[in-house]
Amino acid sequence: MILLGREKPYRREMTSGNLAFAEAMRQINPDVVAAYPITPSTEIPMKFAEFVADGLTDTEFIAVESEHSAITACVGASVSGARVMTASSANGIALMHEIFPIAAMFRAPIVLGLVNRTMGAPLNIHCDHSDSMPERDSGWIQIYCEDAQEVYDTVLLAVRLAEHRDVLTPVFVCQDGFITSHCYEPVEFLSDEIVRNFVGTREPFWPLLDVDVPVSYGSFVMSEDYFEIKRTQLEGMSNVPRVCGELSRELAFVTGREYGAVERCMTDDADYVVVVMSSAAGVAKDVVDSLRGRGVKAGCLRVRMFRPFPYDEVRDVLGDKLGVAVLDRSVSPGGAPPLAAEVRTALYDCPRRVPVASYIFGLGGRDFFPADAEMVFEDLAEGRSGFAGYIGLRDKYARGRRAV
């Protein structure tokens, strides 16, 4: 329960996605942060290190020599009972990959700010989801934010969600590199007191440092027991929708902002819906509004939680539509794009077949404009389905009109 104190409960300030994340970290005051900087998430550990140096937190800040060491230190601290946070992007995430499933299997409730950036080559610092999507099977919760306000709110939520007894699962709080991380915009911050009341302190289960109840992590386990242990991890993930719903309502009680696993924009009576994640949803929602003004029943569904994937909500929203377009900001070479694959899976159980058109957009930071979203809605009206092309590409394989 959140208690309102004497302190002014809110302040609105200009900030960015990265700085909002760092400010949330200062307020949460985690026990341990181990981080290694990489563009475009660099500002998160940079700003947080400044808070530590200024004595504004009690955090043990561990400056390590690589992302692999960063996440390894985080896992060690987390299973010892500490509240732990870090941040990374792109190749930093890839270097952490070996440790991610271990963190999830240890049920180490780490919160990681994942600022999406393409993996390259060629070397590129800009946004797509090719760093986070390969981690979808690592056992971490994945939440994708649209703007800096949502980043801030989600960090607070993620701490409670990860540490909840029925969940005990680490969380990626994702935001689009540069587009969200470096855009300067107003954010409403809660007071330190409200944040600290909301996040409380971590009550670890089976911490390594509890000498009265000795436990062991990382033991050798053969085929006799491994499968059973793995299944308990899946149980934690399956509890996420319920726990996340409860915590979101609790947080919304003070913020006035409640986020679900999906965000519906004019979807109820829509004929055609565009499904998209993260920052590109803004353009799609603007286009929905302008199309509505012209009498087109357009809608936008933003998928915010990718793991666990909200199959039920997606089916409920899209099951009766005339056409659905799924916009993926990453590719799975030789396979279905990740979001399209999930949406199609969600729709398989519908009594009526819903046509799904799948697009690739925004790779390596390629911009996504209103004209692009309009083209997608035109395609849907013409009954397009299946793989529908590359939006914003500048060669002969492009779908739509883009000046070369």
Partner 1 sequence: MVDMTDGAVEVRWHGRGGQGAKSASAVLAEVLFEGGKYVQAFPEYGAERQGAPIRAYNRVSSRPIRRRCSVQNPDVVVVVDPTMVESANPCEGCRDDAVYLVNSPDNAEALRERMGLPESARLLAVDATKITLEELGQNRPNSPLLGALSHVFADVTAEAFADHFASKMKNLSPKLIEANRRAIMRGREEAVLV
Q: According to CB under 8 A, which one of 185, 210, 225, 246 is a site residue for partner 1? A: 185
Q: Is 367 in the site for partner 1 (CB under 8 A)?
A: yes
Residue 359 backbone class (left: φ over 0; alpha: ψ -120 to 50; beta: rest): beta
By CB under 8 A, tell whether 322 contacts partner 1. no
Residue of 250, 263, 286, 316 that binds partner 1 (CB under 8 A): 286
- Kindly compute the dihedral angle of the four CA atoms of residues 359, 365, 370, 374, in this order, to the nearest 10 degrees: -10
Q: How far is the CB of 66 from partner 1 (least distance, A)?
A: 24
Residue 147 in the binding site for partner 1 (CB under 8 A): yes
Per rule CB under 8 A, count of chain residues that contact partner 1? 25
Contact between 180 and partner 1 by CB under 8 A: the answer reads yes
Closer residue to partner 1 (CB): 136 or 182: 182
CB under 8 Å to 29, separation ≥6 — which residues?
57, 58, 59, 196
Whether the CB-CB separation of 82 and 110 falls below 8 Å is answered with no
Q: Work out which of 178, 189, 272, 309 binds partner 1, going by CB under 8 A.
A: 178
Q: What are phi and psi of 325, to 5 degrees?
A: -115, 130
Rule CB under 8 A: say whether 130 interacts with partner 1: no
CB 216, min distance to partner 1, A: 46
Most distant pair of Cα atoms in the chain: their distance: 69
Residue 10 interacting with partner 1 (CB under 8 A): no
The least distance separating partner 1 from the CB of residue 150, rounded to whole angstroms, comes to 12
Per CB under 8 A, 182 contacts partner 1: yes
Does 50 contact partner 1 by CB under 8 A? Answer: no
Q: Does residue 279 bind partner 1 (CB under 8 A)?
A: yes
Are residues 114 and 131 in contact, defined by beta-carbon separation less than 8 angstroms? yes
State the Rg of the chain over Cα: 21
What's the distance, CA 231 to chain centroid? Answer: 24
Nearest to 39 by CA among 88, 95, 75: 88
Among 83, 107, 117, 126, binds partner 1 (CB under 8 A): 126
State the amino acid at position 201 in one-letter form: T
Binding region for partner 1 (CB under 8 A): 14, 40, 125-126, 147, 176, 178-180, 182-186, 279-283, 285-286, 367-370
